[in-house]
């Protein structure tokens, strides 16, 4: 077992201890990492906010506790402060997802909120909040939620299955969008824990911004082969058979998208497992653009697009 994997496991174990009412005592971000985050921040917002904006950053996880959560909290706080795009409030309490509290905010950002055991009143409040004209944004583990809540899956746009890929190239599917402006229309290499999804994912419902550049991601092709072989083996585990369900014949592995949900707006990006994501200047700016879309300040074409002609 390599050292990085061991440290990740130890961090997850330590963060599971001393959980009170589902709220975890997260460690402080090392100052060296805070400086890296500061160095990656843009100087100004993508667009000037139409009015002072308030963003609720919700970072509760009832499932796997990603050690990057404090880094994302720090990045999102500092990003709002430096650019003036919004003021962030951090919370891991379900009390802050009640109607009276939510009405104070323009959007919520779910930071690695894996496998939330969401109370029914919170589900109703969140749906009313977004459908009523507010915004929802989320990273990585926010896509691993609500396996038992179909409307929540529809809102976020997909159902998480597993994360079989790591080193990939990312394709910019909507190069003319202000949201993807930072990437200059060019595919680029990236390494992270890459999620794969099943229905309700569909390009007929979502406007996909980024996806795996399949022809130029040979490790993805090799991983697909391994998944199929493991699932077909006599000693296949249930998890092997579950994960192979996400191997797509069309190789359409979306990474980030937007959608309308009622009168509101949804932005999701599955990147966000590795700490380095929080000080990648392009990904930080991409998150800022997505947040400003969710807040209602960045107007973009969010109508669904058909899949590219070939992959």
Tell me the mean pLDDT per 10 residues along the chain, length 311: 45 53 90 98 98 98 95 98 98 97 98 95 98 98 94 97 96 97 97 96 97 97 95 93 91 98 98 98 98 98 76 48
Bond into 109 cis (ω within 30)? no
**Per-residue model confidence (pLDDT) at position 308:** 57
Q: Which two tokens stand for residue 190?
A: 């990236």
Identify whether the C-beta of residue 74 lies closer than 8 Å to the C-beta of residue 30.
Answer: no
The CA-atom distances, in angstroms, between 214 and each of 94, 166, 194, 245, 308 are 39, 13, 13, 18, 12
**Per-residue model confidence (pLDDT) at position 126:** 98
**Per-residue model confidence (pLDDT) at position 227:** 94
**Per-residue model confidence (pLDDT) at position 8:** 46
Q: pTM for this structure?
A: 0.92
Identify whether the C-beta of residue 286 lies closer than 8 Å to the C-beta of residue 180.
Answer: yes
Identify whether the C-beta of residue 75 lies closer than 8 Å to the C-beta of residue 83.
Answer: no
- Whose structure tokens read 């709220």? 23
Q: How deeply is 205 buried, as exposed, middle or buried, from its count of CB atoms within 10 A (0-12, 13-18, 19+)?
A: middle
Nearest to 141 by CA among 106, 116, 171: 116
Q: Sheet holding 54-58: strands in order across?
A: 87-91, 54-58, 107-110, 135-139, 264-269, 254-261, 207-212, 159-172, 188-198
End-to-end alpha carbon distance in the chain = 35
Tell me which DSSP letter residue 44 carries: S
**Per-residue model confidence (pLDDT) at position 306:** 75
Q: What CA–CA distance (Å, rounded) separates 119 from 94? A: 8
**Per-residue model confidence (pLDDT) at position 307:** 62
**Per-residue model confidence (pLDDT) at position 190:** 98
Strand partners, 169: 189
């Amino acid at each position: 077992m390599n050292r990085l994997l061991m440290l990740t496991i130890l961090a997850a174990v330590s963060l599971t201890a001393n959980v009170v009412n589902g709220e975890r005592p997260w460690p402080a971000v090392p100052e060296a990492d805070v400086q890296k985050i500061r160095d990656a921040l843009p100087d100004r917002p993508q667009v000037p906010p139409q009015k002072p904006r308030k963003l609720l950053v919700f970072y509760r996880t009832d499932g796997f506790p990603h050690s990057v959560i404090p880094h994302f909290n720090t990045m999102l706080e500092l990003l709002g402060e430096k650019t003036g795009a919004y003021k962030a409030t951090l919370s891991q309490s379900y009390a802050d997802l009640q109607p009276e509290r939510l009405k104070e905010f323009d959007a919520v950002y779910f930071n690695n909120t894996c496998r939330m055991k969401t109370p029914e009143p919170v589900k109703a409040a969140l749906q009313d909040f977004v459908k009523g004209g507010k915004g929802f944004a989320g990273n990585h583990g926010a896509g691993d939620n609500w396996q038992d809540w179909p409307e929540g899956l529809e809102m976020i746009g997909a159902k998480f299955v597993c994360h079989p890929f790591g080193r990939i190239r990312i394709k910019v599917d909507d190069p003319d969008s202000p949201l993807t402006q930072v990437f200059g229309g060019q595919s680029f290499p990236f390494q992270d824990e890459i999620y794969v999804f099943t229905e309700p994912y569909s390009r007929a419902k979502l406007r996909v911004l980024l996806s795996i550049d399949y022809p130029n991601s040979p490790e993805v092709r090799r991983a697909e082969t391994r998944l199929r072989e493991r699932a077909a083996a006599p000693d296949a585990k249930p998890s092997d058979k579950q994960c192979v369900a996400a191997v797509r014949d069309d190789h359409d592995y979306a990474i980030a998208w937007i959608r309308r949900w009622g009168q509101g707006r949804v932005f999701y990006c599955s990147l966000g497992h590795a700490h380095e994501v929080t000080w990648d200047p392009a990904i930080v700016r991409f998150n800022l653009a997505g947040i400003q879309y969710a807040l209602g300040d960045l107007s973009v074409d969010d109508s669904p697009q058909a899949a590219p002609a070939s992959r």
